[in-house]
Amino acid sequence: MSVNDPIPWMGKELALICAARARDIPVIGHCLGGQLMAKAFGATVARNPVKEIGWGEVRVLDNPIARAWFGDLSDFTAFHWHGETFGLPTGATNILSSTYCAHQAFVLGSHLGMQCHIEMTEAMIISWCKSGAAEIAACATPSVQQATQMQAGMTEYLPQLNTVADRLYTRWIMGLSRS
């Protein structure tokens, strides 16, 4: 699904995000949620040069806003499952990047939009691999891993990813107390 698809509820979601921003209520979005935020905030969402599916390193960019969210963390392995990506809304700061996707996360005030997935669990990865088997099979590129590779990486990558998620969610929640 794309934020550019003519889906009846899409306009309501975009309006809700805009209303939250207008009321200074922090919004957080993962993948499609990050794309919805970017579009609601005036940026373009378009096809990424390649699909990015599976485990992949993301780099924390060297800017003060990225440091405020990640501290001294310079990179980590995130989970990816997308064929589109967002541009940066006016005033937003790009805080994460990867080899296959320049905009992995942005911050705009108290709002955090992500292309990558930090919220993953073993059950989610197994389920997504099962429901996305045809999509995986149709993509024979270095940016798309096979289900066996994704599942094999869970033991190694999920603990660090959960630590990153805890850090980002804790930071984002701090914005709620100001709302």
pTM of structure: 0.94
Residues sharing a CB contact under 8 Å with residue 73, sequence separation 6 or more, in sequence order: 60, 164, 167
Check residue 176 and give its pLDDT.
84
pLDDT tier, 179 (very low <50, low <70, confident <90, very high otherwise): low
Task: Say if residue 154's pLDDT is above 60.
Answer: yes
44-62 average pLDDT score: 97
pLDDT tier, 177 (very low <50, low <70, confident <90, very high otherwise): confident
pLDDT digits over 87-140, tens only? 999 999 999 999 999 999 999 999 999 999 999 999 999 999 999 999 999 998
Show me where the domains of the chain are located. Answer: 27-177
110 close to 99: Cβ distance less than 8 angstroms = no
For the record, the structure tokens of 110 come out as: 């108290």
Check residues 140 and 29 and name the one with the higher pLDDT.
29
pLDDT digits over 3-16, tens only? 998 899 999 999 99
Torsion of CA 120, 71, 41, 5, to 10 degrees: -20
Pick the CATH number of 27-177 from 3.40.309.10, 3.40.50.880, 1.10.1060.10, 3.40.50.300: 3.40.50.880
CA distance 111 to 128: 27
CA distance 153 to 147: 10
